[in-house]
């Protein structure tokens, strides 16, 4: 069922809206890299977001190519540079399934042990790998609504010299404004916002790169379901447009 903007606004008000906001955060974790801290030099990292997907038993982490390329550059500068998704540290370069600079996507295949470490004690955020059904997923159309989430760098806090806390940001329902061959866009229509988060609004959404996006679907009985629609790869700050790489364009190795 297609909904008008006003109907969507009413839908996301209250507890239901909070549940819709939390949905994408269940399937993503912060991805970050940097040189190990010392007492002389506190922790300093760059971060993005990793979408957690399960395709026929393969646990995959999808993020942006520019996140992996950023790690490569830091590693070339300092061989001590570490890479992690959540609390799981590993070398992403040996676990790349696919990487594409042109569409700004990178896919990592994780071991069962890594997947368990990433989702352990997650308290609702990054608690599971989203089970992909048929592939590729259904088309996303203009005026469809999507939900998305991730971990902006602006909400990252240094707890101690060696400990970080990553704040989350998500939208329970955002209208698709344009659809292209391999990406879709959403605009921040502030006049239709309904705020329910207790976290401050970040000044910049840098760090959302790689965050999961799900199309909101409605059954004939108007039951809400979700379908993986892609990952965020760019936020245009001046026009407040969100760019999302379509799921069907992501090389998952199928």
Report DSSP letters for 158-177, one per residue: EEETTEEEE--EEEEEEEEE
Question: Based on the number of CB atoms within 10 Å of its own CB, is 237 exposed (0-12), middle (13-18) or buried (19 or more)?
Answer: exposed
Structure pTM? 0.86
**CA quadruple 86, 87, 93, 94: dihedral, nearest 10:** -120
Task: Please report, in tens digits, the pLDDT of each residue of the chain (254 residues total).
Answer: 455 556 656 665 666 667 778 999 999 999 999 988 766 666 678 899 999 999 999 999 999 999 999 999 999 999 999 999 999 999 999 999 999 999 999 999 999 999 999 999 888 899 999 999 878 888 899 999 999 999 886 655 555 555 666 678 888 888 899 999 999 999 875 544 445 455 556 555 567 899 999 999 987 777 889 999 999 999 876 667 899 999 999 998 65
Nearest CA-CA partner of 171 in 213, 139, 132: 213
CATH class of residue range 5-35+45-249? mainly beta
CA 48 vs. chain centroid, Å, equals: 8
The DSSP symbol for 201 reads P
80, 36 contact by CB (below 8 A): yes
């Amino acid at each position: 069922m297609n909904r008008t903007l006003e109907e969507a606004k009413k839908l996301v008000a209250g507890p239901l809206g909070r549940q819709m906001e939390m949905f994408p955060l269940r399937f993503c974790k912060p991805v970050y890299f940097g040189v190990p801290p010392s007492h002389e030099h506190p922790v300093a990292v760059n971060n993005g977001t990793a979408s957690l997907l399960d395709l026929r038993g393969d646990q995959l982490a999808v993020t942006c190519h520019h996140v992996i390329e950023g790690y490569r550059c830091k590693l070339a500068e300092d061989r001590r540079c570490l890479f992690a998704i959540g609390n799981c540290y590993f070398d992403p370069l040996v676990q790349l399934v696919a990487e594409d600079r042109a569409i700004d996507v990178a896919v990592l295949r994780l071991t069962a042990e890594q997947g368990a470490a990433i989702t352990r004690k997650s308290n609702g955020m990054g608690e599971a790998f989203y089970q992909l059904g048929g592939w590729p997923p259904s088309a996303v159309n203009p005026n469809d609504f999507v939900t998305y989430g991730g971990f902006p760098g602006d909400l990252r806090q240094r707890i101690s010299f060696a400990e970080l806390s990553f704040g989350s940001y998500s939208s329970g329902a955002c209208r698709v404004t344009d659809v292209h061959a391999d990406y879709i866009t959403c605009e921040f229509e502030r006049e239709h916002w309904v705020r329910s988060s207790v976290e401050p609004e970040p000044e910049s959404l840098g760090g959302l790169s790689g965050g999961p996006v799900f199309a909101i679907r409605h059954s004939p009985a108007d039951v809400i379901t979700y379908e993986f629609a892609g990952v965020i790869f760019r936020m245009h700050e001046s026009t407040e447009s969100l760019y999302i790489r379509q799921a069907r364009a992501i090389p998952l190795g199928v």
